[in-house]
Structure 1
Amino acid sequence: MAGRRFEAEVGPVAHGGHCVARVQDRVVFVRHALPGERVVLEITEGTEGDRFWRGDAVEVLVSSPERVAAPCPYAGPGRCGGCDFQHVALPAQRDLKAAVVREQLRRVARLDVEVSVEAVPGDEDGLRWRTRQRYVDLPGGGRGMRQHRSHDVVAVDQCLLEAPAGPSYEVRGRVFEVPDGGFWQVHPGAPEALVGAVLEALDPRPGEAALDLYAGVGLFSRFLAEAVGPSGRVAAVEGDRAASALSERNCPGVLVRAGDVGGVLAGGLPPEWDRADLVVLDPPRAGAKRAVVEQVVRRGPRAVAYVACDPAALARDVAIFAEHGHRLASLRAFDLFPMTHHVECVALLVTDG
């Protein structure tokens, strides 16, 4: 089917940076389109026997009022695959992301939640925010970016998402050590936005015990430790040993454990950590999953702040929390990855007991 073209009406946005269309009773996930448009789409992946196909909108017959000219000359069908939404006005990009978060929570967790994706200071109209950028080295000294779902490379002069300066590891006057190539949020405004959202959600109190899971270099641990004070305690658990070692230096007085989060929770913490008042979960894209969620709820926290970069994984884990009596009390979403379909959420889960 690859290469065949069809005319189609574009339906709603879907998780993953595309919209849904139907061709010959087959679902097609279409990039470079907007809901309500009529387009000519070209199939990029799929055979007659597949349940769904993938495609690109290669011609727009009836355009959405939210469609704009992409600022980057390398964005579009058959070009660089790094951006999903350069053809969409920035406020509408956030509306699309909010719709995806709402749909995932409704479909997976059976929750109807109002979602508004918040802009974060630090980019320039959705550009110049990526403080760490990777290019593909080309023969002769050039560089390029990969096409969507492909190893093919498009030669580029520069990515317009690339920030003029590298990351700053200072947040609220505290400086963090980060391993070379180690994880740190790439949007300049992300650390402050997430720290603020987590602290606001948890409202940590002096004397409380807080677990920071998937703690990285201790971004949340540092501020939790300051909030609970000398009468409280914080433990940070991180699978990457280099990041975990640095979190000991970044977070004086915090108990640090390196290892698989589920394994450490199951038997790698002192007995006093069988109970915790607060928990921060900041897992990778796959989410925390059942084993970790059940280890968290077993400790009886009054509040859990779940930092999620994938709405589908978040919705799945929120549903698991609900099985154990923890309800979604609030949710904030942040546009930390403008021009792409990615969105970061901070969910607060609480018990009514």
Structure 2
Amino acid sequence: MSQPSSTRPADSPRLEVTVGPVAHGGHCVARHEGRVIFVRHAIPGETVEIALTENDADAKFWRADVTKVLVASPERVPHFWPEADALRAAARNAAPVGGAEFGHVSRKGQLELKTAVVREQLERLGGLAADRIDALFAAGVEDVDTAGTPEQLAGLGWRTRVGFAVTPSGKLGMHAHRSHDVHPIREMPLALPAINDLGLWELDFTGIERVEVAAPANGSGVLVLLAPDAQLSEKAAGAAVKRVARALAALETPPSVARWNPENGAVEVASGRGWVRETTEDHEFRVTGDGFWQIHRRAPKVLTDAALGALLQGGYLDDGAQVADLYAGAGLFTAPLADAVGPDGHVLSVEGSPGTSRDARKNLHASAQVEIVQGRVEKVLGTASRASQTAAGQRHSFDAVVLDPPRAGAGKAVVRALAATSPSAIAYVSCDPAAFARDVKYFANAGWALESLRAFDLYPHTHHVETVALLVPAKG
């Protein structure tokens, strides 16, 4: 396979193809002379001109961007963001920035494409029969932006966190897909207004390599993280951070600013504080630096309602229940789980990141029924299950588990370790349909079955989709 390319469209071979079905990863499948081509910025059924971006002769498949639409789909709409529009980018001999690869598709069309991807992954990787998927997933992917401003109804202004790169000239930018090229931008329409209002594109970020911005939906204050160029001396790196911090301090509503090390997550405050305050209806959370928090402004409520709702409806969260929150982050699910099981219950909260685990301890220090453990989930589960064996040699049994792994999924080792603790039900929250489907297969091999499934479009105008599933021991 070829490496990420910086080839300009004008220098790339052009082909005319008819586009086939959508595939996981933000592209559609086309074929040319027997060769599979993954085409971005297309819609199934269209006839398009494409520029090949990766086309090694010995590659199993090629990659391409659409440069011209010859026969358009009824679901094609004008892209809302010029820098991410493949057609406008091709006209100026450039590649579009990533981050809005479905922006040319109607909102209805996006939901249909994402539904097709979830179904295909469950059938191909999860091993589920089509009729079973029909029964589980009749609702398809659900739109969460059904109320709000016109921009929010259009799927804009939802991101509470955005990462930026920096151009060689010091301007804020974003990468093209699978490319080292950084293109300057002057807006990020998917971000909350508080992020765009900073006007970061007007500043000089020379000496800074990455910029991360967190803006809680509650309006409690923006945090800007600055990662200096790793090639700079310590003195030069410190000077670059101070210069940008001074510029940000001069804004009408200055954000907090901190120097940030992406390798270890270390945060050194330059002004304000190195954390943000996130809130739900019933709880408040401190999230330090680049610690994980759901990106969509409505995601915390949507996901906690779906995951805990499934467990409550099944009767797995009675007062006094024994539960676990795995990949728990700062405690988004742990806090309502603690409320549900009450003071006589127990919540084991496991998180691998030391910094995020420290946040969880601060956020949940008043909940005596919560046990917070920092470490790898499969190792903690193995230790916990051995340590909690009774005198009769029986392993501890969870009444319920919330499993919210990173994009790569839980994996075979975690599934095996979790199954060994014999929980009664698992609410599985996933942000990647392929990883989720693979884990469904691992669970099936361990004697588990999907009881219910919902999916939410928490990433409008991108190919990403969030699923919430309830898994239970298979009957018979």
Class of the TM-score when normalised by the shorter of the 2 chains: over 0.9
Provide the C-alpha distance between the structure 1 equivalents of 2:384 and 2:399, rounded to a whole number of angstroms.
18
Give the match's secondary structure for 2:379. Answer: helix
Conservation of the 8 A alpha-carbon contact between 2:328 and 2:349: yes
Provide the C-alpha distance between the structure 2 equivalents of 1:193 and 1:143, rounded to a whole number of angstroms.
32
2:259 aligned with 1:230, yes or no? no
Q: Deviations over 1:144-167 (max 9, x none)?
A: 111111110111111111111311
Stretch of structure 1 that moved more, 262-271 or 6-15: 262-271
Conservation of the 8 A alpha-carbon contact between 1:98 and 1:117: yes
From 381, 384, 388, the counterpart of 1:271: 388
Conservation of the 8 A alpha-carbon contact between 1:28 and 1:53: yes
Provide the C-alpha distance between the structure 2 equivalents of 1:224 and 1:48, rounded to a whole number of angstroms.
53
1:7-156 alignment, distance < 5 Å: 7-77=16-86, 78-111=95-128, 112=130, 113-114=133-134, 115=137, 116-121=140-145, 123-138=152-167, 142-156=171-185
2:471 aligned with 1:349, yes or no? yes
Q: 2:189: which partner in 1?
A: 160
Asked which structure has the greater RCO (Cα within 8 Å, sep 6+), the reply is 1
**Cα shift at 1:211:** 0.8
Q: Deviations over 1:108-153 (max 9, x none)?
A: 1121314311122473411111111222234555321111111101
From 452, 462, 470, the counterpart of 1:340: 462
Query: For residue 134 of structure 1, what is the amino acid of its counterpart?
Result: G
From 372, 376, 388, the counterpart of 1:256: 372
Q: 2:410: which partner in 1?
A: 288
Unaligned runs of 5+ in 2: 3-10, 87-94, 195-214, 219-277, 390-394
Q: 2:201: which partner in 1?
A: none
Larger Rg: 2
Give the match's secondary structure for 2:66. Answer: strand
Q: CA distance change for structure 1 residues 136 and 283 in 2, over 3 Å: closer, same or farther?
A: same
**Cα shift at 1:295:** 1.2
What is the TM-score with the length of structure 1 in the denominator? Answer: 0.96
Q: Deviations over 1:305-330 (max 9, x none)?
A: 11111111101111111112210011
2:323 aligned with 1:323, yes or no? no
Query: For residue 40 of structure 2, what is the amino acid of its counterpart?
Result: R
Provide the C-alpha distance between the structure 1 equivalents of 2:372 and 2:23, rounded to a whole number of angstroms.
39
Percent identical pairs in the alignment equals 49
Q: CA distance change for structure 1 residues 139 and 150 in 2, over 3 Å: closer, same or farther?
A: closer
Q: Deviations over 1:47-69 (max 9, x none)?
A: 12111000011111110000000
Q: 1:198: which partner in 2?
A: 307
Provide the C-alpha distance between the structure 2 equivalents of 1:21 and 1:301, rounded to a whole number of angstroms.
44
Conservation of the 8 A alpha-carbon contact between 1:37 and 1:63: yes
Provide the C-alpha distance between the structure 2 equivalents of 1:268 and 1:277, rounded to a whole number of angstroms.
15
**Cα shift at 1:171:** 0.8
Q: 2:237: which partner in 1?
A: none
Q: CA distance change for structure 1 residues 155 and 212 in 2, over 3 Å: closer, same or farther?
A: same
2:356 aligned with 1:243, yes or no? yes
Q: Deviations over 1:269-306 (max 9, x none)?
A: 64167321111110011111111111111111111011
From 432, 436, 445, the counterpart of 1:314: 436
Provide the C-alpha distance between the structure 2 equivalents of 1:164 and 1:76, rounded to a whole number of angstroms.
21
Give the match's secondary structure for 2:81. Answer: coil
Unaligned runs of 5+ in 1: none
Query: For residue 362 of structure 2, what is the amino acid of its counterpart?
Result: R
Conservation of the 8 A alpha-carbon contact between 2:166 and 2:182: no
Give the match's secondary structure for 2:59. Answer: coil
Provide the C-alpha distance between the structure 2 equivalents of 1:226 and 1:101, rounded to a whole number of angstroms.
32
Q: 1:181: which partner in 2?
A: 290
**Cα shift at 1:233:** 0.9
What is the TM-score with the length of structure 2 in the denominator? Answer: 0.72
**Cα shift at 1:267:** 1.4
Give the match's secondary structure for 1:127. Answer: coil
Q: CA distance change for structure 1 residues 150 and 228 in 2, over 3 Å: closer, same or farther?
A: same
Q: 1:212: which partner in 2?
A: 325
Conservation of the 8 A alpha-carbon contact between 1:279 and 1:296: no
Give the match's secondary structure for 1:128. Answer: coil
Conservation of the 8 A alpha-carbon contact between 2:381 and 2:421: no
From 162, 168, 171, the counterpart of 2:280: 171
